[in-house]
Chains A and B, each alone.
Chain A
Amino acid sequence: MIFMSPYETPFYFIVFGIAVAPLGLLLFFGKKRLWYQCALTVFFLYMSFGGARYKQGIALAAYLIFQTALATAYFKYRQKHNAAPVFIIATLLAVLPLALVKLSPVLSESLSAAGFLGISYLTFRSVQVVVETRDGLIKEFGPLRYVLFLTFFPAISAGPIDRYRRFSGELFAPPGPDRYAELVGQGIQHIFMGFLYNYIIAHLLGHMLLPLVKEYVLSGGGFLGILYYMYVYSLYLFFDFAGYSKFAIGAACLMGYDIPPNFNKPFSSGNIKEFWNRWHMTLSFWFRDYVYMRLMLFFLKKKVFKSKVAASNLAYFALFLLMGLWHGITWYYIAYGLYHAAMICLTDAWLRFKKKHKDGLPHGRFTRALSVVITFHAVCAGFLIFSGFLNELSERM
């Protein structure tokens, strides 16, 4: 048996292509065999979490049992009752495994044994199901489809973060020959773009150029060196992650699923808000819907703040602090979160100012270009904090 992480090498795609071909043929003839998808899932999970990584495999299995039991129990409970404390406990329980793993450096190293590749993304999905169950949006629930949703292997390790209701719909309704033929075209296109992004551009930037730049800065490259590092790292991050998302989306297409996009030309954004609507979209939409909106609703309902602006700003800080903490309990991830929170609040203030002084401000192609350039640099500065390189630099100095 060959063990490898999703999309680790081109060879993964060969295995994937062969394994998925029968499913593709079935889909093309308008049939859907759920058992085949189950078998595929087991096979690919074993490939990624078996062998030397068997401990992760055990953690994953335990995680799935726990989350499925939790979601099933809460769904059943919600059909009859709707108490807030139960909802809060269910949500906290859904986050608990991830929180323990993330806090393991602080609490106890042994907790990290509960972790596995992709635990964050599975948690985003499970929390979503709990929240939408509470909202009464999820009307149908079954353990099998829930597990298939959580472990949808093309997107298991790094997203995109799909939505349960959307996925569930596609799970039971085959796309039909016409639609599937289109999906195959898109899938191949996505995967090959992924090759370009991830295997070629990100490799050149991250593995060839970045070490050289790093060496240059550490041997005293000064401010210009750091700037250079910032650009290379930011572009590397984009091509690496966007390429990865393209693999996931492409692979999902070949299986007949149209999962949501994760990147939409993020560096063409005119401000930070727009950036978060274009960068790691499924994650920022998740945070928007389940953190920001919930907090806003809570603040306004309970009249915690008089002004909407203050409520929104606080919600932003909570959102980005949480996102920072999610990346890891390290000062630069937290700084990264606070930085983006500050940026987005400033952006909001600027947008309000612009609205008031509509006529006084120039507006045109040039200002748009200028705002794109400024946003790009603000974003890259954030990635520089995120990279932890400043940390390394300060330790060496």
Chain B
Amino acid sequence: MESNEYIQFFDGGIEPTLEALGGKGSSLVTMTSAGMPVPPGFVVTTAAFDEFMSAAGITREIHDLLEGLDPEDVAEMEKVSAGIRADICSKPVPEGLRAQTLAAYEALMARFEEPVPVAVRSSATAEDLPDASFAGQQDTYLWLEGAKAVTDHIRQCWASLFTARAIIYRLKNGIPNEGLSMAVVVQKMVNSKVSGVAMTLDPANGDRSKITIDSSYGVGEMVVSGQVTPDNIVLDKVTLTVVSEHLGDKHAELVPDRSAHTLVEREVDEERRGRRSLTDEELAAVASMAKRAEKHYKCPQDIEWALDADLPDGENLLLLQSRPETVHSSKPAAPKASTGGYAASLGIPASGGSAASGDAASGTTAAATGFSLGSITASLLKTTA
């Protein structure tokens, strides 16, 4: 199905705008097109919300209800909010819009062998929601199955624009209720068979020429919380060559239980524990994705990733989160190379140093090419070439 005015798939190839997709939605589209595969899904755009509101004909009425409300009167506020939200949820969705939404959901389900659960999340535009903590107040619904559950919860997201907290926030910040809108994200629930974290540096020494990956079976929580010892692999960032790898014990895994809508812990058998949880191809894919995330955000990243059991091999790697690495990235990008240190340690007078320093005794620095004899000497004397 093609993206259109009301529906925009993450991988639909349309330039995302904050106005149409909201903050979360536009970020998901941007990440997908930058080669960072987030769990697949689509955004129900702000145009869909506008179309619904205009057909429902309740915009004027809502404005009137909100007019003159006292932000300190919490009980009244809750009552008005509940009324508006019930009104929104009871109004029919225009047939065209409804058909588009159902088609989008079917198209998403068609990517899998059988229907999979989805999450529905609100995605407000930046003017209405200036900070992340507030975004957290928006509604998120997990484990939804079937078209009805999905469309019902899209409407609940729309309604969440008028929770008491949202109304108070706008009142206190002088944000007008005119022109309010809301996009909604419909996204596949991740079904991790293998997951972990990756850093675009070596946390042991801050070396930015490495990518460090921790990987284990199931959902990543056990890796993040340290309940299992994951496989640890260090790769060269430029060539993606494995520099070192240590197999972890990976004794247990958390896997989703669809019927219970929860995660269950189970033992990992000997055979799976004994081998690396990622194949060579999967390892290269995780590293490449981490590298793309770093390039996209222009600073070292700490990402969470998963291989989704519902997606075919080669297309199943998902990026769950990418955030700046803060421990090492405040330091210089690379350690300064020592020059002449080895010679000095052998009791030899330092004869070179940096290319600029020169050396009277042997006239060592060659300005023409900028090389440093002191460092060349040090290289030869270094005992672990």
Chains A and B bind each other: no
Residues of chain A touching chain B, judged by Cβ–Cβ distance below 8 Å, are none
